[in-house]
Amino acid sequence: MDGSTSNREEDEEEEEELSHRNVAILGVATAAVEIWRNQMTTAVAYYAMLRNPLEREDRKRERELYISTLTRGQEAHCISQLRMNKDCFDLLCGNLRNRGLLQDTRGVKVEEQVVLFLHTVAHNVRNRTNAVRFFRSGETISRQFHRVLRAINALAPDIIRQVGNDAPRGPVGFEGAVGAIDGTHIPAFVPSQLQSTFRNRKGTLSQTVMVACGFDLNFQYVLPGWEGSATDARVLQNALARPDPLVVPRGRYYLVDGGYANQPGFLAPYRMARYHLADFRKRNPVNSREVFNKMHSQARNAIERAFGILKNRFGILKTAPPYDIHVQVDIVIACCVLHNFIRMNGGHTFDEELLEDHLDDVNSNEENDLNSALASTDEAGTSRMCRFSQREKDEWSRFRENLKEKLWNEYPRNTHRN
């Protein structure tokens, strides 16, 4: 008797549990149907709008009004939304049209195509958001984005140019320098099987981008697409061996930080001595190495300023956009092309404002670079992948020693000697 009662109670409990489970499943199914119904309602309304000539014309007028407000209205609106002034925008559109890289289609003019692209890279806007803002389908937004991306990258050979022996003299103390070289990390969106190699020393996913920059803050050479785990020295060696290599003009050199070896054509600071500008704010240099490092840091700061302007101008470089990695690489190149185009055509008068949120973090990032440099260089600061002979390296070391003594002797006596 007790056994049958117990069985009935267990059966009742199972039925009650099954009933609760069915209610939960029904609730989920009802919610899914409601979501589907809302999506279908939105889709039906959208396609009804497309079929309705009056509503379609209204959307067209609103779209044209918004684009006109940006490109023909107040200068501040154009700069805020498109990251360049109106004259620079007109030059860019004219350049792309005249070269045959972009052309008006039946429904989308070149100006709208470029606005869509600039709006996306400047603010990291998703296709769905742009589709609502410009009254276009997501497919149209995506197609126009990739079309403009290819067109802008086709300008790269003419906009991002290496310098020759006739390059302007470098800053005081480093007159032979043609610019500075450094690497930066751009957040990357990669599949799970690639994440281990793209994970950088901070534990985040990124692509490493090596850049050579002139003291005018224009980029001279850009090599994106390397895994976030790659060291600066490794990327530089690849840049020197590529079919389209980085070329150092004869008798000139680039300034590099402690993440690189001091080798012919690449002048690095001294280790085991203060280097960052913040380190000298409270106490002046006290020996020749510190004088060299301080002046080296001041001159090399140009590339940090360029990085700050680039990343604050184009918000898409601050987060990982959901594109294939080869598209992410192309986006980096396109942003560098636009950076140079803007500066070459007088659209950079507001660049100082773009630096406010960047340079505060430079010193901490450089400190990490100096610490991680040991992974790719030996105690003498010589790259394990170095392609120079011992005689060439010794000559270069003597050049740095002589320059260090010259800067020390010329440095104001009352600021570095007691």
Q: Report pLDDT for 35.
A: 66
The per-residue pLDDT for 372 is 47
Contacts of 218 by beta carbon, 8 Å cutoff, 6+ apart: 306, 339, 340, 343, 344
Greater confidence, 117 or 347? 117
d(CA 30, CA 24): 10
Cα-based angle 43, 46, 47 (whole degrees, multiple of 5):
90
Question: Do 260 and 177 fall within a single domain?
Answer: yes
Residue 361's Cβ-count burial label (10 Å; 0-12, 13-18, 19+) is exposed
Same domain, 238 and 331: yes
Q: Are residues 125 and 252 in the same domain?
A: no
Asked if the model's pLDDT at residue 32 lies above 70, the reply is no
Q: From CA 181, how far away is CA 207, in angstroms rounded?
A: 17
3-class secondary-structure state, position 390:
helix
Res 389: pLDDT: 87
The total number of structural domains that make up the chain: 3
Residue 331's CB is within 10 A of a number of other CB atoms, namely 23
In this structure, the answer to whether residues 23 and 74 fall within a common structural domain is no
Q: Are 214 and 302 in contact (CB under 8 A)?
A: yes
Q: Is residue 58 part of a domain?
A: no
- Same domain membership, residue 193 and residue 125: no
| Residue 107 binned pLDDT confidence (cut-offs 50, 70, 90) | confident
Instruction: Decide if pLDDT at 267 tops 70.
Output: yes
Q: Is-contact 236 260, C-beta < 8 A?
A: yes
Residue 29's pLDDT band (boundaries 50, 70, 90)? low
Q: In the predicted model, is pLDDT for residue 385 greater than 60?
A: no
Residue pair 342/309 in contact (Cβ under 8 Å)? The answer is: no
Hey, how many other C-beta atoms are within 10 angstroms of the C-beta on 395? 12
Considering the domain architecture, whether residues 207 and 342 belong to the same structural domain is answered as yes
Domain-terminating residue out of 91, 126, 154: 154
pLDDT of residue 54: 52
Picking from 124-133, 148-157, 362-371, which range would have the lowest pLDDT averaged per residue?
A: 362-371
Spatial CB neighbours of 159, under 8 Å, sequence gap ≥ 6: 337, 340, 341, 344
Give me the mean pLDDT over the 84-108 stretch: 95
Higher pLDDT, 279 or 299: 299
Q: Is residue 159 part of a domain?
A: no
More confident residue, 79 or 57: 79
Q: What digits encode the pLDDT tens for the residues 72-84?
A: 999 999 999 999 9
Residue 24 has pLDDT above 80, yes or no: no
Please, what is the angle between helix 2-51 and helix 53-72, to 10°?
80
**Which stretches of 272-389 are DSSP H helices?**
288-313, 325-344, 362-372
Contact 258, 242 (CB under 8 A): no
Q: According to the model, what pLDDT value does residue 133 have?
A: 87
Does residue 338 contact residue 85 with C-beta atoms inside 8 Å? no
Domain extent, residue 82, equals 70-154
Same domain, 27 and 86: no
pLDDT reading at 344 higher than 60: yes
Domain end call among 133, 154, 175: 154
Range of weakest confidence among 45-54, 64-73, 216-225: 45-54
Domain assignment present for 61:
no
Using pLDDT thresholds of 50, 70 and 90, give the confidence band for residue 241.
very high
308 in the same domain as 197? yes
Q: What is the pLDDT of residue 200?
A: 94
> pLDDT tens digit string along 356-379?
544 444 444 544 444 444 444 443
Residue 362 lies in a domain: yes
Give percent of the chain with pLDDT exceeding 70. Answer: 77
How confident is the prediction for the chain on average, in pLDDT?
84
pTM of the model: 0.81
pLDDT of residue 240: 95
* Statement to judge: residues 3 and 145 lie in one domain: no
The answer to whether position 56 is within a domain reads: no
Kindly state whether residues 111 and 3 are assigned to the same domain.
no
Most confidently modeled range among 40-44, 148-152, 287-291, 373-377: 148-152
The answer to whether residue 386 scores a pLDDT higher than 60 is: no
Count CB neighbours of 262 within 10 A: 22
The whole-number pLDDT of residue 374 equals: 43
